Amino acid sequence: MITVDNLSKRFVTGSGRQRREVAAVQGLSLVAADGRITGLLGPNGAGKTTTLRIAAGLIEPDAGRVLVDGLEVQREPRKALARMGVLSDARGLYPRLTARENIVYYGRLQGMTEAAAQARVDVLAEMLEMRPLLDRRTEGFSQGERMKTSLARALIHDPPNIVLDEPTNGLDVVATRALREALRRLRDEHGKCIVFSTHIMQEVERLCDRVIVVAGGRKVAEGTVAELLEQTGERDFEEAFVRLAYGPAAMAAQQGAAA
Amino acid sequence: MMSAAWTVFRKELIDALRDRRTLLMVLLSSVAMGPLVLVLISGLVASFEKRAEERVVLVAGLEHAPTLVNHLERQTWTVKAPPADWERQLAARSLGDAVLVVTPGFEAELAAAEAPLVEIVSHTANSRAEASARGVERLLRGFSREQATLRLAWRGVAPALLEPMRVENRDLADSASRSAQLAFIVPYFVLMAVLYGAMNAALDTTAGERERGSLEPLLMNPAERSALVAGKWLAVAAVAMLIAVLSCLSFLPGQWLIRSEALAAMFRFGVGEAAAFVGLLLPLAAALSALLMAIAIRCKTFKEAQANATVVILVVTLLPLVLMFGQEGEKPWHLWLPALAQSTLMARVLKGEGMEPMEVLIPVVVAAAVVVVALGYVSRKLRSAALK
C-alpha cells in the first residue's frame, strides 16, 4: 500500500530577475490499496512525475510524506525501495549487456543472490513473454522490448508495490496490450499495489480500479471511472476528464501553481 | 555496502571490457604507439651509427692530392670520388656527406709550403651534410697538424712546442643516465596510456549513464550511493591499470626490436623496471579515474564530458614537460603534483637512482586526497544528476 500524505514541492529555476518558482505539487494526498490498480491521470505538467519521483526517494518534498507499507520513504529510503518496484520515465538500459544481465544486475543490487535473481528472471520472462530477448544484447531493442526489459528489471525483487510513470509512452498497440495484460495478472494473481501515471484516457478506462485526477499539483477528483462519469454527468470519459482537469477548480489550482 | 560495490564493480568492468572498439583504439594509440616510436628512434640512431662506422670521405679531385689521400687512408677512412652531380644532390638533400674539393695544384703548392686552398662544400639546409662537414674539418686539421709536425721535426724543433696543453673529453654520465635522457618517452607514453585507459570508462559510467537515462533507475535500488560510486570508480581504475600494465609490458618486446646496438645497451627496461612503473602508476590511475568521474558527472552527455575532460588531458600532457625543459633539475614540489610526480619517479627508475620512502609516499597521499574529494563530490552530485 502506498500512502501520499499532504505532499508539496516547489521548484526554483534561475536567480535574480530570472527567478521563477513553480509549485509542482501542492498538498496532494492519495491512497493506493493492495490488489488495486490506481491511475494518476492529469495533463502534462500536473505534477505526476514529481509525485512519483518523491515516492521513489529521488526528490525531497518540501512538506508531507510518502509511506510505502507504513515505511516513510524520506526516513528509511532503502527499506522502502526494497518494497517498491519503480518503472520511471527514464528507461535506459546498458546496451553492451544482455537483457538478462541488465535484469540480474538490479536483482543483485536489491540484495538477491545470483541464483535467486537468475531464477526470478525466468519467471518474469515467462510472464512478460520476453524469453527470446533474454540473451540478446539490448543494443537495438525496440521500444516494446526496452519496456519489457525495464519492467522486468523493476520487478526483479518481487516488490509488493509497483509504480509506473507513463509506461505506455511510445509503445504500439500490441506492446500496450501485453503490458496491460501483465499488470492485470500482477494485480489479480499476486495482489500487488499498482500505481501508474498517464495522460491517456483509454489506459485508465481499461485498466484502473481507481482514478485520481490531478491538475496544477492538486487532486481535483477521485473515484472509479463510473463514479467520475456520474460526477460530471458525461457519457464520454474524455469529456469528463476535460471538465475535471480543465474545469474551474483545476484552473484555480493552475493559477496558484504559477504564482 | 561491500556487496553492492562489488556488484557494481563487476558489472562496470564487464561493460567496459565489452566496448571492444573503444578498447582497441586505446590499445592501438597508447600501447602500440610507445614501442613503435622507440623502434623508429632506434632506426634513426642506427642510421647515424652506420654512417659513423662507414668512415667514408668524399673528395672531388682526389687524383691531385696523393699525400692527403694517403693520410686519410692511414686514419682508416675510405676515400671516394663524389657522384657527378654532387652539387645538385647536396642541395636536394639526397647526398648526406659534405664534399672536399681539391684544386689541381694541391700537391705542388703543399710541397712549396704555399698553403693550398681546399674547400669543404656543404649545404646549410642539409643537416646530414652539415654534420659530416664537421667530421671532415676535424680530419683536415689532423692532416695539417701532421704536416706541421713533420716540417718542425725536419728543422729540429720539438713537436711538443706546438702543443702547450692537451685537451681530452670525459663524459660523467654513465650508461643508465644516458639511456634515461633518451627514454623519457617511456614514462610519457605510459602516462598517456593510464589517462586514455581511464577516460572512456570514467565518462561512460557517469555522463554516459546520464545520457542513456540509466542513472535514474539505478538510484531506485536500495544501494548506498557511496557504494555505487565506489564500485564504478574501482572498475574505471582497474581498466586504467590494465592499460597501464599492458603499456609497460609492451616496451619489453619493443626493446628487442631496437636496431641500434649502442641504444639497446643504453636502454635498460627490464621486468623490474616495468614492475616499479606499475607500482608508481597505481595511485595515479586511482586519482585520474576519480577526477575524470567528478568532471563528467556534471555533464549531461558523453560529448560534453569529453570536451570538459580536455583540461585534465592537457595538464597530464604538459606537466611532465616541466622535467624535459626545466633547466633547474628536480624540485621538491614536483612530487606534490600528480603526473609530474610519477614522471619524476619513473625517470629515476630508468636512471637507476633510488627513492626515499618519503618521496614515494607523497604522491600516494596526494592521490588518496584527490580520490576522497572527487568521489565525495560524485556521490553528492549523483542524485541531482539523475534528474536532469
Chain A: closest CA distance from residue B9 (Å) = 11
- Report the C-alpha gap between A77 and B225 in whole angstroms: 12
B2 reaches A (C-beta below 8 A)? no
pLDDT per residue as tens digits for the range A5-41 = 999 999 888 778 888 888 889 999 999 999 999 999 9
Q: How many other CB atoms are found less than 10 A from the CB of residue A153?
A: 26
What's the confidence (pLDDT) of residue B239?
93
| Residues in chain A closer than 8 A to B383 (CB atoms) | 58
Instruction: Fill in the amino acid letter for B28.
Output: L
Q: Are strands A210-215 and A193-198 parallel, antiparallel or unpaired?
A: unpaired
Q: How many other CB atoms are found less than 10 A from the CB of residue A64?
A: 18
Q: Which fold has domain B55-170?
A: abc type-2 transporter like fold (3.40.1710)
Q: Quick one: A113 and A133 in the same domain?
A: yes
Assign residue A203 the CATH number of its domain. 3.40.50.300
- Report the C-alpha gap between B369 and A187 in whole angstroms: 51
C-alpha cell at B162: 706546438
Chain B: closest CA distance from residue A154 (Å) = 8
Q: Quick one: A227 and A166 in the same domain?
A: yes
Find the length of chain A: 259
Q: Are strands A37-41 and A193-198 parallel, antiparallel or unpaired?
A: parallel
Among B215, B222, B386, select the one facing A78 at the smallest CB separation.
B222
A136 reaches B (C-beta below 8 A)? no
Q: What does B218-267 look like in DSSP terms, one character per residue?
A: HHTSSS-HHHHHHHHHHHHHHHHHHHHHHHHHHHHHHHHT---HHHHHH-
- Report the C-alpha gap between A74 and B332 in whole angstroms: 50
Q: Quick one: A125 and A114 in the same domain?
A: yes
The reply to whether residue B213 touches residue A109, judged by beta carbons under 8 angstroms, is no
Residue A153 lies in a domain: yes
Overall average pLDDT of the A131-143 stretch = 92
Q: Quick one: A50 and A98 in the same domain?
A: no
> Element (H or E) spanning B295, and its range?
helix B271-296
Residue A180 lies in a domain: no
A90 reaches B (C-beta below 8 A)? yes
Q: Quick one: A8 and A72 in the same domain?
A: yes
Question: Which chain A residue has its CA at the smallest distance from B388's CA?
Answer: A90
Give the domain extent around A136: 90-158
Among B11, B215, B220, select the one facing A86 at the smallest CB separation.
B220
| Residues in chain A closer than 8 A to B216 (CB atoms) | 58, 88-90, 92
Residue A243 lies in a domain: no
Is the pTM value of this prediction over 0.90?
no
SS3 content of chain B, % helix, strand, coil (to 5): 75, 5, 25
The reply to whether residue A81 touches residue B11, judged by beta carbons under 8 angstroms, is no
The reply to whether residue A58 touches residue B4, judged by beta carbons under 8 angstroms, is no
Q: Are strands B99-102 and B118-121 parallel, antiparallel or unpaired?
A: antiparallel
Question: Which chain B residue has its CA at the smallest distance from A80's CA?
Answer: B222
Q: Is pLDDT at A254 greater than 80 in this prediction?
A: no
Among A57, A89, A108, select the one facing B7 at the smallest CB separation.
A108
Instruction: Fill in the amino acid letter for B42.
Output: S
The reply to whether residue A86 touches residue B219, judged by beta carbons under 8 angstroms, is no
What's the confidence (pLDDT) of residue A255?
65
| Residues in chain A closer than 8 A to B388 (CB atoms) | none
- Report the C-alpha gap between A114 and A116 in whole angstroms: 6
Residue A169 lies in a domain: yes
Q: Which residues contact B236 (CB under 8 A, 6 or more apart)?
A: B12, B16, B198, B201, B202, B205, B289, B292, B293
* Domain ranges, ordered by start, for chain B: 2-44+176-387, 55-170
Residues of chain B with pLDDT under 70: 1, 52, 169, 171-184, 255, 259-267, 326-328, 388
**DSSP label at residue A218:** E
The reply to whether residue A94 touches residue B215, judged by beta carbons under 8 angstroms, is no
- Report the C-alpha gap between A127 and A156 in whole angstroms: 12
What's the confidence (pLDDT) of residue B14?
93
| Residues in chain B closer than 8 A to A71 (CB atoms) | none
Confidence band for A183, pLDDT divided at 50, 70 and 90: very high
| Residues in chain B closer than 8 A to A53 (CB atoms) | 387
Q: What does B311-329 look like in DSSP terms, one character per residue?
A: HHHHHHHHTTHHHHH-SS-
Residue A15 lies in a domain: yes
> Is B383 in contact with B225 (CB distance < 8 Å)?
yes
Residues 199-228 (B) with a CB less than 8 A from some CB of A:
209, 212-224
The reply to whether residue B217 touches residue A79, judged by beta carbons under 8 angstroms, is no
What's the confidence (pLDDT) of residue B89?
87
Q: Is pLDDT at A188 greater than 80 in this prediction?
A: yes
> Element (H or E) spanning A29, and its range?
strand A20-32
Q: Quick one: A255 and A169 in the same domain?
A: yes
pLDDT per residue as tens digits for the range B135-158 = 888 888 888 888 888 888 888 888
Q: Where are the alpha helices (DSSP H) in chain A?
A: 48-55, 77-82, 99-109, 114-128, 143-154, 173-188, 201-207, 225-232, 237-246, 248-258
A56 reaches B (C-beta below 8 A)? yes
Q: Quick one: A152 and A166 in the same domain?
A: no
Burial class (CB in 10 A: 0-12, 13-18, 19+), B225: middle
What's the confidence (pLDDT) of residue B261?
67
Q: Quick one: A204 and A99 in the same domain?
A: no
Among A81, A90, A154, select the one facing B222 at the smallest CB separation.
A81
- Report the C-alpha gap between B244 and B250 in whole angstroms: 10
Q: Quick one: A255 and A171 in the same domain?
A: yes
Which of A108, A164, A166 is the mutation pick for testing B, counting most B CBs within 10 A? A108
A94 reaches B (C-beta below 8 A)? yes
> Element (H or E) spanning A26, and its range?
strand A20-32
Instruction: Fill in the amino acid letter for A145.
Output: E
Residue A114 lies in a domain: yes
B17 reaches A (C-beta below 8 A)? no
Q: Quick one: A166 and A67 in the same domain?
A: yes
What's the confidence (pLDDT) of residue B61?
86
Q: Quick one: A102 and A78 in the same domain?
A: no
Among A58, A92, A154, select the one facing B213 at the smallest CB separation.
A92
pLDDT per residue as tens digits for the range A96-124 = 999 999 999 999 999 999 999 999 999 99
| Residues in chain A closer than 8 A to B205 (CB atoms) | none
Question: Which chain B residue has its CA at the smallest distance from A165's CA?
Answer: B217
A109 reaches B (C-beta below 8 A)? yes
| Residues in chain B closer than 8 A to A82 (CB atoms) | 222
> If you average pLDDT over every residue of chain A, what do you get?
89
- How many structural domains does chain A have? 2
> Is B15 in contact with B208 (CB distance < 8 Å)?
no
| Residues in chain B closer than 8 A to A94 (CB atoms) | 11, 15, 212, 214
Q: Quick one: A148 and A44 in the same domain?
A: no
What's the confidence (pLDDT) of residue B174?
55
Question: Which chain B residue has its CA at the smallest distance from A98's CA?
Answer: B15
**Pairs of residues, one from chain A and one from chain B, whose beta carbons lie less than 8 Å apart:** 80
What's the confidence (pLDDT) of residue B57?
87
Q: Which residues contact A163 (CB under 8 A, 6 or more apart)?
A: A2, A52, A55, A56, A84, A85, A86, A87, A194, A195, A196
Beta sheet of B99-102, edge-to-edge order: B78-80, B56-60, B99-102, B118-121
Residue A183 lies in a domain: no
